[in-house]
Amino acid sequence: MPSGFRPQRDPDALRRAGWALAALLVLWPILRVAEFNPADLFDARNLEVMGGFLGQFFPPNLSIDFLALALKATMETLAMATAGTALAMLLAAPLGLMLSHSLSISRIGPGPGRGAGRASRALVRGVLLVLRGIPELVWALLMVRAFGLGPAAGVIAIALTYGGMLGKVYSEILESGDTRPARELLESGSGRLMAFFYGLLPGAGQELASYTIYRWECAVRASVVMGFVGAGGLGQLMDQSMKMLNGGEVSTMLAIFLLLVLLADAFSVFLRKLLA
């Protein structure tokens, strides 16, 4: 070591260690309240039970009849996710535009419409809060009671919850970009739609499309979960197999679900590159 060399020290090391210790002190009581004990995962009796449970999933059921049934359920899941996301976009687009401050004509200057504009935006914000505040699984439970078993309940559940999510994020994306072109169009007498298409959409279009594709990926996963409450698709078929204690069918559907998620992710990457 050269003479006079002094090892460098991280000036924030003590602060980071303090935050890590504080996080541990907060996390440990939460884990105790949740009755989570990591040692239980390595208990010999629990390991034996888990090993026997996992052994029921092998070998997978690869019969032609069951694969045809699983393929039909997979297509139902994809159709449910796609239709639900499409309806969510139709619901979110007008609500997101109404919530966007940059497209508010009443904010251009003084006038009697300011109070009505604020009230309408508050109403839209409340509607979006209710839609996204109720999870899609709860909506699916309600829709199954209203429309009966089948994918229709899942489509409506995704449309309602994701409509609220998309509407809120759409408005935030439109506000985060350069809003001056839209404002200039509104000041020159243009309508809101023209200000959106020519003032905001060119700069925010790619981000809007990217988030919508991401939500479609989430809808594919959510469609499987909603099948457990009777919304059809791959989840409902998996629920039936689990109730019949048929682990081979469950492992086959888990593999199909994993492949479905990978394909959805690859498709979304392709669309993002196409829109870039």
Is the pTM of the predicted complex or chain greater than 0.85?
no
pLDDT value at position 110? 53
Predicted confidence band at 65 (pLDDT cuts at 50, 70, 90)? Answer: confident
- Mean pLDDT score across all residues of the chain: 81
pLDDT in tens, 152-207: 888 999 999 999 999 999 988 888 877 777 777 777 777 777 887 877 778 888 88
Residue 69 to residues 252, 261, 263, Cα–Cα distance (Å):
11, 19, 20
Pick 276 or 29 by higher pLDDT. 29
Q: What is the pLDDT of residues 5-27, one digit of tens each?
A: 555 666 677 777 888 888 888 88
- On whether the CB atoms of residues 231 and 139 are closer than 8 A, the answer is no
* Residue range 249-270: mean pLDDT, rounded: 84
For residue 155, CA distances in Å to 132, 203, 265 come to 15, 31, 20
Q: What is the mean pLDDT of residues 104-133?
A: 74
Tell me how far apart the alpha carbons of residues 65 and 70 are, in angstroms, rounded to a whole number.
9
**Which pLDDT tens digit goes with each residue over 31-58?**
777 777 777 777 788 777 788 777 777 8
pLDDT, residue 10, reads 63
pLDDT score of 234 more than 90:
no
Q: What is the DSSP code (8-state) at residue 189? A: T
212-221: per-residue pLDDT in tens? 888 988 898 8
Per-residue pLDDT for 244 more than 80?
Answer: yes
Count the neighbouring beta carbons within 10 Å of the beta carbon of residue 94. Answer: 12
